[in-house]
Amino acid sequence: MEASRQSGPWQEPFGIQFYRGTQEQLVETLLRRVTWPFGYVVTPNVDHVVHLQRHAALRQAYDHAFERVCDSRVLAPLLQSLGAPVPEVIPGSELTLRLLHEADRRMLKVALVGSNAAEAARLADLYPGMELVHHDPPMGFIDRPHEVQACLDFVYAQQAHLVLLAVGSPRQEILAHRIDPARCSGVGLCIGASVRFAVGTLRRAPRWMQQARLEWLHRMLTEPRRLAKRYIADAWHILPIYLRERRAAAARRIGAVAR
């Protein structure tokens, strides 16, 4: 078991073994793994926590991930209150930028699944030192076995150091789980919209909004049609999930004292 994965049920809120290192430590670890058998990283946020309660395939993908990195400044205080704090929030967009920079500097091969051709071309222009290959599956691909297989065949054929899965959750996590580590090496990252941030199609919230845990508001105002309904639903569902975790954590503490 990796050093960042601590044991004990009270240290696994929402049934997730969160990464408990720093971003610097994570980047170093991932760069060491780029020639190892394939493993992937997921980035839990409130939306993922909600969907994990009822989405068996996403739960299975999470259970098999190499690391589960807290990506949310909204989720982090909930973990703190449950007695399982993370040292720092590591936004997926920041982690992606760090690894793209290293891929450029070290001349690594990067396979991008998702994003459009224009964004892929822009990414290649911004990081000319890395070798970028791109596959953009069609909408609804995850429900079409031949399209999923096309994604897998692309990853196996490229043998890239980094595999960026940018097809949205839970599709990217499910796809990552289906990649056979016996058939390729490299590190997979489930990155959502991170490429759009990297190339400037989307812009992150100002620093003060990030520090005030209001980046979600900036995202919602930037993409209201896509995100407003999702964020409202997440807020509605996370409260009972969190309260259940609080009760379970309290019961475990009482049981530990009784023993």
Residue 49 lies in a domain: yes
Longest Cα–Cα distance in the chain: 62
How many other C-beta atoms are found inside a 10 Å radius of the C-beta of residue 84? 21
Q: How far apart are CA 113 and CA 137, in angstroms?
A: 7
pLDDT for the residue numbered 207: 77
| pLDDT tens-place string over residues 75-130 | 999 999 998 999 999 999 999 999 999 999 999 999 999 999 999 999 999 999 99
Supply the pTM of this predicted model.
0.87
Residue 3 lies in a domain: no
Residue 29 lies in a domain: yes
The answer for residues whose C-beta is within 8 angstroms of residue 36's C-beta and 6 or more apart is 185
Residue 42 lies in a domain: yes
Average pLDDT over residues 153-165: 98
Residue 128 lies in a domain: yes
pLDDT for the residue numbered 92: 93
Domain range holding 47? Answer: 9-258
Q: Are 18 and 86 in contact (CB under 8 A)?
A: yes
Q: What is the 3-state secondary structure (H, E, C) of 12-42?
A: CHHHCCCCCCCHHHHHHHHHHCCCCECEEEE
Structure tokens given for 135: 């596959």
- Segments in the chain forming alpha helices (H): 23-32, 46-52, 56-63, 75-81, 92-106, 117-126, 145-158, 171-178, 194-199, 207-211, 215-222, 224-258
Residue 4 lies in a domain: no
pLDDT at residue 258 is higher than 70:
no
Read off the amino acid at residue 225: R
Phi-psi region of 186 (alpha: psi -120 to 50; beta: other; left: phi over 0): left
Q: Are 116 and 136 in contact (CB under 8 A)?
A: yes
Three-state secondary structure call for residue 8:
coil
| pLDDT tens-place string over residues 194-246 | 999 889 877 766 777 677 666 766 566 677 777 677 768 777 899 999 999 99
The answer for residues whose C-beta is within 8 angstroms of residue 32's C-beta and 6 or more apart is none
Kindly report the CA angle at 54 between 52 and 59, in degrees rounded to 5? Answer: 40
Q: What is the mean pLDDT of the chain?
A: 89
Taking alpha carbons only, the member of 102, 101, 71, 66 closest to residue 88 is 71
Q: How far apart are CA 65 and CA 42, in angstroms?
A: 7
Q: How far apart are CA 233 and CA 66, in angstroms?
A: 29
How many other C-beta atoms are found inside a 10 Å radius of the C-beta of residue 156? 13
Three-state secondary structure call for residue 223:
coil
**For the chain, what is the domain count?**
1
pLDDT at residue 32 is higher than 90:
yes
Q: How far apart are CA 69 and CA 76, in angstroms?
A: 11
pLDDT for the residue numbered 201: 77
Residue 1 lies in a domain: no
Q: Are 110 and 131 in contact (CB under 8 A)?
A: yes
Q: How far apart are CA 101 and CA 193, in angstroms?
A: 17
Residue 237 lies in a domain: yes
Query: How many percent of the chain have pLDDT more than 90?
Result: 73
